[in-house]
Amino acid sequence: MWTRLSLKIKLTILVVTVVSLASFAFTRFAAQGLMNLMEKAAGQGAATAAEGFAAAIDGAWIESVQPGAEHDQEYINIENLAKTLMNQGYVHRVEVQRHITRTEVEYILSLPKDNSADYYEPGTKETIPLGTPFLEKAVGYHGVKLEKPGAYMAGWAPISNGTKDVGTVMIIVDSNDVQAAMNTINIALVVVLFALISLSGIVAYKFSASFEKAAVTDGLMGIYNHKYFKQRLEQEVAKSHRYAQQTSLVMLDIDYFKKVNDTFGHATGDLVLKNLARWVVDSSRNTDVVARYGGEEIGIILTHTGLAGAQEFAERLRLKISQQVIKDPEEDAEFRVTVSVGVAQAEKGVSMLDLIKRADAALYYSKRTGRNRVTIYQEDILPAPEPQPKTGS
């Protein structure tokens, strides 16, 4: 039959066959690349989510927790966070481990609780072989094999107690569907896979970003929380020591805040705090870190900024706040507030906690000398204050 075909038809069949084979080969190659990219995106999303989860866990509790701590409030808190993660369809398992030695861990949490070989009862201890990826790299992701058939990527991040890593958060995502799609690969599937990787990358990024943000954000003021503030300040102080990089800290506190609550109620007080946070963020640079330190006190980490620049920023911010009018229609309230401000600069040999004490000392000096003013820390006249309760003064 082949011999009866014309040369034109033979050439057409040959060209179509070659093009089809080449297209199929290219399709498989492209699809494999896309699948690898999707698995990488899933792994990166898991690692980012693990970082946010780890930042929300009290490192001191993890280091000291004893067996049977499932009823502790801290355990309940991290279990609820883990359950939030488990509501995401691609999350297969969430684990929290405590480090006993470099290679021995104790499982604090493992979700979901089931009868699979991959589930560890709280209190279970395990020796991890040297060379295991999460022992070698503080934050990362890697493919893993589990009891249930499928393809999995594990992302992890350390739980820190100060500068010491005391545990690990492990988030495992199921990429089994991506592997199964390879069995029915074709040109149309390349387009579908490309759309899937784009969509899953966006979803993974948004989920991990939103989870991480929620873990480090103050629920009322919408700025960073106390724990994240101390972590970032410790990092910036370390940079200033290592690279001779200027870093300053500004601490501010609302004057007579208790009178606002007593006069207008706590709902109006909350409104003041939200407005204050917005004014500070609007006045800060993207590289600055604005966080709620406690009560109505806000800390601002000014990177690459010396005392002169920090003082100028603080004076400008103090004046701006004093000129704002707060309106609360529900209470028929209209009033202004002022802030007292303290400024200190990171210096060689000064720790993160010492820097906070210095800025706080300057802040309380502003309180004692009339309020609605900025004070620069000076050791000869402003010794670090003893800790004292915040009364909204």
Mean pLDDT across the chain, nearest whole number? 80
Q: pLDDT tens digits for 360-392? A: 999 999 999 999 999 999 877 666 555 555 555
In a domain, 149, yes or no: yes
pTM for the full model? 0.48
Q: How confident is the model at residue 204 (pLDDT cuts 50, 70, 90)?
A: very low
Tell whether omega for the bond before 149 is within 30 degrees of 0, i.e. cis: no
Same-domain pairing of 148 and 181? yes
| The total number of structural domains that make up the chain | 2
> Which carries the bigger pLDDT value, residue 278 or residue 44?
278
In a domain, 242, yes or no: yes
Q: What is the mean pLDDT of residues 98-126?
A: 87
Least reliable range by pLDDT among 2-6, 29-33, 204-208, 309-313: 204-208
> Which carries the bigger pLDDT value, residue 95 or residue 25?
95
pLDDT score recorded for residue 250: 97
Contacts of 294 (CB under 8 A, 6+ apart): 226, 390
Same-domain pairing of 95 and 181? yes
The whole-angstrom separation of Cα 261 and Cα 207 is 37
Q: Looking at the predicted structure, is the pLDDT value of residue 280 above 90?
A: yes
Q: Percent of the chain beyond pLDDT 70?
A: 74
pLDDT score recorded for residue 20: 53
Domain extent for 358: 226-376
In a domain, 129, yes or no: yes
Same-domain pairing of 305 and 350? yes
Same-domain pairing of 310 and 192? no
In a domain, 381, yes or no: no
Q: Looking at the predicted structure, is the pLDDT value of residue 67 above 60?
A: yes
> Which carries the bigger pLDDT value, residue 19 or residue 45?
45
Q: Looking at the predicted structure, is the pLDDT value of residue 279 above 90?
A: yes
In a domain, 387, yes or no: no
Q: Looking at the predicted structure, is the pLDDT value of residue 141 above 80?
A: yes
Same-domain pairing of 70 and 132? yes
> Which carries the bigger pLDDT value, residue 95 or residue 49?
95
Least reliable range by pLDDT among 12-26, 72-86, 94-108: 12-26
In a domain, 388, yes or no: no
Same-domain pairing of 200 and 333? no
Q: pLDDT tens digits for 157-179? A: 999 988 888 999 988 887 654 44
Q: Looking at the predicted structure, is the pLDDT value of residue 281 above 90?
A: yes
Same-domain pairing of 158 and 258? no
Q: What is the mean pLDDT of residues 65-74?
A: 74
pLDDT score recorded for residue 249: 97
Q: Looking at the predicted structure, is the pLDDT value of residue 299 above 90?
A: yes
In a domain, 62, yes or no: yes
Tokens encoding 225:
């929380």
Same-domain pairing of 189 and 251? no
Residue that is last in its domain, among 216, 242, 267: 216
In a domain, 306, yes or no: yes
Residue that is last in its domain, among 163, 186, 216: 216
Q: Looking at the predicted structure, is the pLDDT value of residue 77 above 60?
A: yes
Q: What is the mean pLDDT of residues 96-112?
A: 89
Is the C-alpha dihedral spanning 89, 91, 93, 97 positive or negative?
A: negative
Amino acid at 132: T
Residue that is last in its domain, among 216, 249, 284: 216
Q: Looking at the predicted structure, is the pLDDT value of residue 199 above 70?
A: no
Same-domain pairing of 258 and 360? yes
Same-domain pairing of 49 and 139? yes
Q: What is the mean pLDDT of residues 248-262?
A: 94
Same-domain pairing of 252 and 170? no
Neighbours of 180 (CB within 10 A): 11
Same-domain pairing of 72 and 139? yes
pLDDT score recorded for residue 200: 45
